[in-house]
Structures are given as C-alpha cells and as structure tokens.
Amino acid sequence: MTITKNLGMLLLAIYLLLVGLSGAFGFNLGQLSIAVPILALAAGVLILIGR
C-alpha cells in the first residue's frame, strides 16, 4: 500500500477520516472544529490547482 504523493488528495483523505470518525462515534472535535474547515479548504484548493 502506498500513500499518494498528491498533497491535495492526502489532505482530503485526512479530512474525510476526521469527519467520518467524528460522525460515526459522535466525537466532539473541540479545538479541531476550527481546523477541519481549514483542512477542507486547503484540500479543495490544492486539488483544483493540481498539486
């Protein structure tokens, strides 16, 4: 198994894991609730510019 070298896809994968885990187990992300939208924006921008 290899990890993607595309930074946008890597950030998207981390974002999806955080959102999925918080939704599935009902975790309150606390301080991460600020970081999750920023991570989503960063992933979206990097995917759009093809990095």
pLDDT in tens, 4-49: 678 888 888 888 877 777 766 666 667 667 777 777 778 878 777 8
Count Cβ atoms within 10 A of the Cβ of residue 19 and give its class: 0-12 exposed, 13-18 middle, 19 or more buried.
Answer: middle
What does pTM read for this prediction? 0.61
pLDDT at 47: 77
Domains of the chain: total = 1
Residue 14 lies in a domain: yes
Q: Evaluate whether residue 1 is within a structural domain.
A: no
Residue 5 DSSP code? S
Distance CA 21, CA 2 (A): 22
Q: Does residue 11 sit in helix, strand or coil? A: helix
The CA-to-CA distance between both ends of the chain, in Å, stands at 21
51 falls in which pLDDT band (50, 70, 90)? Answer: low
pLDDT score recorded for residue 29? 64
Question: For residue 12, what are the domain limits?
Answer: 7-48
Position 23 in a domain: yes
pLDDT the model gives residue 14: 83
In a domain, 15, yes or no: yes
